[in-house]
Amino acid sequence: MNDLPVYSSPFVEVRRRGRHVIAELRAPAKVLSTCHVNGGQRLDLTHLVNHQSCEPVKHQERFELIVGMGQDGYHRHVCAELGLDPARTAVAGTAAAMQYLGIVTHRWADLAVTAIVTAGVSGNAGSAGDAAEYDERDGAWERTGPAADTHAPGTTGGTINTLLLLSSPLSDAALARAVVTMTEAKTAALLELAIGSRRSPRPATGTGTDQYAIAAPQSGGPLRSWTGKHTKAGELIGRAVREATLEALRWQNGLEPSYTRSLVHALGRFGLTEENFKAAQKGLLAEREFQLMQANWNPVLYEPQLAAAGYALAAVLDRVLAGTIGPASAGEALLNQAALMAAGLAAKPEDFLAFRRELVPHFPVGPELTPAALMTATMAAANRAVALGWRAKWTA
């Protein structure tokens, strides 16, 4: 099979071969990775591999193959498929397609930083500290909690794999700090796209299976001793990883900024799905009103003023849940954003006060409400605001 060039520098040659992306290190390298075999910090690796190990959904045969071989056996299997030495190769796997790479290089003076990312977040995006599903003891896994509610039928996984390549040597401390900068950049991309956790109402910071490999030459240029955000090395890492992550998600999951304008995207982490939104509107609108909305579904979901107010409602709800806004004022703060949703969809900003009056009874907020009850009440009021706005849009 012919290899397709992906990236080339004096330090590394990156090629794609079918389901695999292979980085051949052309000079002795210092590598830090999360790979199960040959992971951690290494000085003896010659190749780094990212590959599609399975399809994202219901690929049971492949799952059984990987589990049956175990980590060591599957590592040797992949290396044999590529003709690489398993003792000098680190391998990462994902369900994302290798054709959807995000590749970004930034330079400053003698330094070049390249991020090559595959990314998917539709199934298991999470926020650090979310309740876990498993615990491991001596290599055995046991379930500790229920599987995440994906809010998206047919999507069960997600992984962000980052290959970070630097042209200059790094100290051990700089290599370790690069992990922090890289991770912050990945999370910044998720925040920019307003990706929500599948296990909590919090914004996602990554997925449960994210992996990385960072490589820099052992010699041959000025040594960098720090890669934090105040340094040019840190800046380049942050820019490259953030942009490559955004590009990979654009192709793998279709997560372009305009797509995230959807009201469901804005409020999905609080439990608003397209299915329950549609059911709520059917119950709140007259039959003819609902039929008209259903026939114009996307223009409603993606209406920019409605989406803007929906994001504002989400931001206020975040602050209420975090304790920034107390129970005594939370209801009014949320009410104002819901009234803006109605006014935005109706294209009648002058009717804000009228919408607000109609929504007042639907914000039962107080110290006795649990966070779950607060989110449920707020989403119910948001649904009511949309119905009010839609009805008013076509009322003289």
| pLDDT value of residue 56 | 79
Q: What is the mean pLDDT of each run of 10 residues along the chain (396 residues)?
A: 91 96 98 97 98 85 85 94 97 94 97 97 93 88 73 60 98 98 98 95 96 97 96 98 97 91 96 96 97 96 96 96 91 95 97 96 79 92 97 89
Q: Cα–Cα distance between 3 and 66 in angstroms, integer? A: 25
**CATH number of the domain where residue 40 is located:** 3.60.70
Tell whether 330 and 208 lie within a shared domain: no
pLDDT at 77: 95
Tell me the helix, strand and coil percentages in the chain, rounded to 5.
Answer: 45, 20, 35
Predicted pLDDT of residue 1: 60
User: Are residues 223 and 298 located together in one domain of the fold?
Assistant: no
> Does 74 share its domain with 184?
yes
CA distance 292 to 387: 12
- 196 exposed, middle or buried (CB, 10 Å; 0-12, 13-18, 19+)? buried
- Whether 242 and 333 map to the same domain: the answer is no
Report d(CA 265, CA 379) in Å as an integer: 13
Of 234, 255, 276, the residue at which a domain comes to its end is 255
Do 180 and 276 lie in one domain? The reply is: no
Same domain, 52 and 169: yes
| pLDDT for residue 67 | 82
Distance (Å, whole) CA 336 – CA 309: 9
Largest CA-CA distance found in the chain, in angstroms, rounded: 75
Looking at the fold, whether 30 and 97 belong to one and the same domain comes out as yes
* Integer Cα distance of 87 and 19 in angstroms: 21
For the chain, how many structural domains are there in total? 2
Task: Tell me which of 255, 273, 302 is where a domain ends.
Answer: 255
Q: Is the dihedral of CA 335, 336, 339, 345 positive or negative?
A: negative
276 and 251 together in one domain = no
- Give the per-residue pLDDT at 148: 58
- Mark whether 63 and 140 lie in a shared domain: yes
Q: 210 and 327: one domain?
A: no
Residue 92: domain span: 4-255
357 and 288 co-located in one domain? yes
pLDDT (0 to 100) of residue 156: 52
Global pTM?
Answer: 0.92
Residues 94, 92: Cα–Cα separation, whole Å: 7
Instruction: Check residue 151 and give its pLDDT.
Output: 39
**Of 228, 255, 282, the domain-final residue:** 255
Do 198 and 267 lie in one domain? The reply is: no
DSSP state letters, 14-32: EEEETTEEEEEESS-EEEE
Give the sign of the dihedral formed by CA 268, CA 270, CA 275, CA 276: negative
